[in-house]
């Protein structure tokens, strides 16, 4: 039977990129600059009020798909040819949904995740596994003034701690989630000077960080090292066993090989 939309429609290559990370934005810009013929759909969860702008011609959709089944249905109904999971290294659920949905509808999947940070000799890291463990560690440390750089969603975990908190987030947290905390609104990248100023101005004696990796937010670690301040470092959540690369260029190579759509 003939394709009612003709051969052009059946040959369409449509790439779904799950966004939420610096790499997602870089990838989208790089695909655009390579003069690709692939149709790109960029998907956001919709957690932040403001987003970095996307190149013209990139379709943007916002909001969850409705779990693994919802995503699998979306892949089918939207004619997706391949998918890149470029969610943040701390997105705990979406990578598993992506892996299961792509497996069930046989859509090739690649995950892109930047390498985690590793401590330098002068670093004073206290490694923990979860945000709740970080809150327990704060509770047991002598620190009085703590800088939280974990986003706004999980600030409530620290509500029972006696320390004074300064929390830096992109958007304001829900009112009352961490009573008494000073909220600093800001979006990465931050420079070493920015971070030294924050730590000194707020007399911070402990930093809490997720091991996000990358350059945009690493200056807080350099500042903490320089000032001899400990860092509670939260490990990344488990990830599904899917093909994974660390660099945007490797993802571009995969796209070219997988759907042959880059110039
Ligand atoms: P999550 O636990 O993995 O995802 C929760 C739910 O949000 C998913 O089940 C899915 O809903 C929806 N979702 C997540 N990413 C999506 C995307 N790119 N497009 C459409 N729906 C998406 O992730 P999270 O920790 O809530 O983070 C939400 C988003 O913020 C992610 O895209 C992540 O990359 C970004 N982010 C997270 C952190 C962090 O520290 N967690 C930091 C920076 C950025 P359905 O099940 O309904 O499909």
pLDDT above 70: percentage of residues in the chain: 91
pLDDT for 7: 43
83: Cβ below 6 Å to ligand 1?
no
Distance 150 CA to ligand 1 centre (A): 15
pLDDT in tens, 153-202: 999 999 999 999 999 999 999 999 999 999 999 999 999 999 999 999 99
Long-range pairs, 252-257, Cβ under 8 A, ≥24: 252/27, 252/30, 252/31, 252/34, 254/84, 254/110, 255/15, 255/31, 255/36, 255/38, 255/82, 255/84
- Give the whole-angstrom CA distance, residue 51 versus residue 53: 6
91: Cβ below 6 Å to ligand 1?
yes
Task: Indicate if 125-234 has the same CATH topology as 7-114+238-259.
Answer: yes
Distance 190 CA to ligand 1 centre (A): 23
pLDDT for 3: 42
Q: What is the CA radius of gyration of the chain?
A: 21
pLDDT in tens, 28-64: 999 876 667 789 999 999 987 666 677 778 899 999 9
pLDDT reading at 263 higher than 50:
no
CATH code of 7-114+238-259, in short, is: 3.40.50.720
44: Cβ below 6 Å to ligand 1?
yes
Distance 12 CA to ligand 1 centre (A): 27
Domain boundaries, the chain: 7-114+238-259, 125-234
- Give the whole-angstrom CA distance, residue 242 versus residue 245: 10
Fold of 125-234: Rossmann fold (3.40.50)
260: Cβ below 6 Å to ligand 1?
no
From 16, 19, 20, give the residue whose CB has the most ligand 1 atoms within 8 Å, as the site to mutate. Answer: 20
Query: Is the CB of residue 217 less than 8 Å from the CB of residue 148?
Result: no
Confidence at 26, pLDDT banded by 50, 70, 90: very high
pLDDT in tens, 78-90: 999 999 999 999 9
Mean pLDDT (the chain, rounded): 92
pLDDT for 191: 98
Q: What is the pTM of this model?
A: 0.91
pLDDT for 262: 55
Q: What is the mean pLDDT of the segment spanning 212-232?
A: 97
Torsion of CA 176, 182, 188, 189, to 10 degrees: -170
Q: Which atom of ligand 1 is nearest to the CA of 93?
A: 3
Distance 47 CA to ligand 1 centre (A): 8
54: Cβ below 6 Å to ligand 1?
no
């Amino acid at each position: 039977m003939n394709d009612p939309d003709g051969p052009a429609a059946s040959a369409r290559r449509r790439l779904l990129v799950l966004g939420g990370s610096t790499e997602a934005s870089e990838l989208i810009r790089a695909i655009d600059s390579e003069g690709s013929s692939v149709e790109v759909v960029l998907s956001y969860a919709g957690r932040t009020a403001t987003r970095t702008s996307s190149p013209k011609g990139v379709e943007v959709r916002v909001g969850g798909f409705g779990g693994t089944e919802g995503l699998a249905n979306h892949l089918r109904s939207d004619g997706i040819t391949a998918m890149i999971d470029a969610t943040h290294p701390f997105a705990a659920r979406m990578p598993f949904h992506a892996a299961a949905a792509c497996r069930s509808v046989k859509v090739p999947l690649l995950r892109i995740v930047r390498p985690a940070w590793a401590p330098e000799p002068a670093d004073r890291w206290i490694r923990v596994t979860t945000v709740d463990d970080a809150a327990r560690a704060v509770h047991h440390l002598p620190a009085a003034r703590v800088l939280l750089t974990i986003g706004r969603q999980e600030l409530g975990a620290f509500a029972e701690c006696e320390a004074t908190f300064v929390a830096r987030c992109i958007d304001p947290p829900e009112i009352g989630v961490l009573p008494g905390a000073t909220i600093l609104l800001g979006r990465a990248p931050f420079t070493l000077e920015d971070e030294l100023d924050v730590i000194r101005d707020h007399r911070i004696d402990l930093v809490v960080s997720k091991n996000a990796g990358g350059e945009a937010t690493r200056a807080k670690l350099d500042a903490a090292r320089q000032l001899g301040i400990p860092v509670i470092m939260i490990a990344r959540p488990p990830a599904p066993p899917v093909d994974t690369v660390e660099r945007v260029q490797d993802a571009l190579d995969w796209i070219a090989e997988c759907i042959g759509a880059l110039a």
